Amino acid sequence: MNQYIEPEVLKGTRDFLPLDMAKRDFVMKHITSVFRSFGYDSVQTPAIEYAKTILGKYGEDSDKLIYRFKDNGGRDIALRYDQTVPFARLVAANFQNLPIPFKRYQVGNVWRGDRPAKGRYREFCQCDIDIIGTKNLLAEAEIAKVVYSVLARLGFPKFVIKFNSRRFLNSVLSDLKIAEEKQVAVIRILDKFDRIGLEGVEIELNKILSKETISALRRIINLEGSNSEKINSFKKYDTAEILQFLQLTKSLEIPECNLQFTPSLARGLDYYTGITFEVFIPGADIGAVCAGGRYDNLCELFTSENLSGVGVAFGFDRIVIAMEQLGMLKKIRLSSRVLITYFEAATLPASLEVFNELTSEKISAEIYFEPAPLKKQLKYADKKGIPFVIFLGEEEIRKQQVKIKFMDTGKEKVIPRDQISIYLKCFYEQTEK
């Protein structure tokens, strides 16, 4: 007996079957089309990099998650851990040839030896946009507009772009007399708000702050109300950046209901220096679907050019999961619209003529590959979700007709042979909507 190799994938990695891919392609097509409509162009970096490029950029804990190995030439190699560091390397290497400010999007897989969980994989897809080389707040506002446009285009009925300002947060922490060396620790704890809740945050803060300070902080991060109500309550802090950001997003016609000033939002990463974002989908149980903000000096490890920027990463896998959860991907079908049946060699030439005509008219069609019983061919059409099946028997050929079976209803219709393309095209355009 043969010993077969178990056809398994590594934990945290996935095969994508046709329907998975049809959904993913649909989502990706809309996302990148919005990026391009705002003038973002695509770049790509290799999946494998010198380890020196990747290591030491994300903190010690993250370094442990990086896939590393030696190649045959003894080079120390690492798999891409995110797209930001390789992007910084690309910008440093090509600075003279890039338009500055530089807007780009970048879609690619990254690898992390993390513990797999719901929405957390070892190989997953990131979609980033960044604008680098400008400090103007218009860049933050445009990034928010792109996020808004992507989620609106995908059809999410509700979503919230939560934002905060590092300048505001720093002014709060300074006003509360929290020593500068403690501020980073406090920000890291606040960043867990969405995962561990207010209570969890307070337990952790207890270890480093006094009860009074915590209670003052709670009043700030827990404040309810509209964006302008919050700003009015926080007049003693530095809200200039937030006011200007809201004014610009208003000019960019982002509805106020999609933007939420969130004083507790902290983004643990130390490198954010201005406005920060996190985006949530009410009703989807998946955490933030986008996150980002303003950072200083992206390329400082690679070049003396000082480039401030603002960017956001779209969690592509999470967006797909959220759309699945909300039933937004139910209408996605595979490519084929038409199956032409094949019963005998004698009728094949006529069938191939129809096949040629349909594919040249860009109606996605296929012909069954061998003579087979009707039941088998219908089962095939059913498994692929093909909506139309065409029969061309001797009788139809003689009468210059074709018979169409509508798989959704089971009904059949005979139409003249020379009307097949136009008929399917009309029907096809209707069902696509």
Residues 316-375 that bind a second copy (CB under 8 A): 334-336, 339, 342, 348-349, 352-353, 355-356, 359, 362-367, 369-370
- Coil, strand or helix at 76: strand
- Residue 237 is classified by DSSP as S
Does 117 contact a second copy by CB under 8 A?
no
Chosen residue from 9, 207, 224, 398 binding a second copy by CB under 8 A: 9
Q: Are strands 388-391 and 365-367 parallel, antiparallel or unpaired?
A: unpaired
Piece in contact with a second copy (CB under 8 A), picked from 133-141, 179-187, 196-204, 411-419:
133-141
Is 301 near a second copy (CB under 8 A)?
A: yes
Pairwise CA distance, residues 375 & 378, whole Å: 5
Near a second copy in 173-232, by CB under 8 A: none
Query: For residue 226, what is the enclosing H or E element?
Result: none
Q: Which is it for the CA torsion 174, 278, 108, 92, positive or negative?
A: negative
Q: Which stretch binds a second copy (CB under 8 A): 106-114, 216-224, 228-236, 283-291?
A: 106-114
Report CA dihedral (177, 181, 184, 188) to the nearest 10 degrees.
-90
CB 129 within 8 A of CB 104: yes
Interacting residue with a second copy among 62, 63, 116, 135 (CB under 8 A):
135
We find the least distance from the C-beta atom of residue 91 to a second copy, in angstroms, to be: 8
Which of 85-93, 216-224, 288-296, 319-327 is the region at the interface with a second copy (rule: CB under 8 A)? 85-93
Site for a second copy in 395-414 (CB under 8 A): none
Strands 388-391 and 338-340: parallel
Convert residues 15-54 into a mask of x (bound to a second copy by CB under 8 A) and - (unbound): xxxx--xx--x---------xxxxxxxxxxxxxxxx-xx-
Please report whether residue 96 would count as binding a second copy according to CB under 8 A: no
Rounded-to-integer distance, Cα 407 and Cα 388, Å: 6
Asked if 378 interacts with a second copy (CB under 8 A), we say: no
CA dist 359 and 421 (Å) reads 10
With CB under 8 A, what is the number of residues at the site for a second copy? 104
According to CB under 8 A, which one of 82, 83, 104, 128 is a site residue for a second copy?
Answer: 104
| Residue 26 vs 234, nearer CB to a second copy | 26
The conformational region for residue 67 under phi > 0 = left, psi -120 to 50 = alpha, else beta, is: beta
CA distances (Å), origin 174, targets 104, 380, 393: 36, 68, 83
- Does an H or E element contain 50, and which? strand 48-50
CB 154 within 8 A of CB 319: yes
Bond before 99 cis per omega within 30 degrees: no
155 near a second copy, judged by CB under 8 A: no
Smallest distance from the beta carbon of 168 to a second copy, in angstroms? Answer: 22
Q: Give yes or no for residue 71 binding a second copy (CB under 8 A).
A: yes
Q: Which of 30, 63, 92, 233 binds a second copy (CB under 8 A)?
A: 92
